[in-house]
Amino acid sequence: MLSDREEIVKETLAWCNSVRARYHKSPLNVLPKGRIADPHSCPCGAATDMYVGARYYGLKEGGPNYPLPSAVIRFIRLFDNGDLPEYIEKRKEV
């Protein structure tokens, strides 16, 4: 049985892959790493190549906004709070 956190990640990956399929992109096996509070390069934004906010998503070029599924909203909340460190992209040292 999956934990709540594992279920959220699984459902988020499935959602990202469903969006990718609409644009004829191959499915991912894992979510990419991303930057906190960045709707373009968070894991969901990186996976879908879309703007993914806290509750809505859409095309990066200002297209319409669509509501996110509840599991994805929960994933984004956990991620932005730093509670999913395995998906946080490390900043490069200069």
The backbone region for 33, taken as left when phi is positive above 0, alpha when psi lies in -120 to 50, beta otherwise, is beta
Per-residue pLDDT, 63? 67
**Could you read off the pLDDT of 7-30 as tens digits, one per residue?**
999 999 999 999 999 999 999 999
Going by C-alpha positions, the residue among 63, 60, 56 that lies closest to residue 46 is 60
- Dihedral (CA of 23, 37, 89, 5) sign: negative
> How high does pLDDT run on average in the chain?
93
Q: How far is residue 44's CA from residue 51's CA, in Å, rounded to a whole number?
A: 9
**Could you read off the pLDDT of 17-74 as tens digits, one per residue?**
999 999 999 999 999 999 999 999 999 999 999 999 999 999 877 766 899 999 999 9
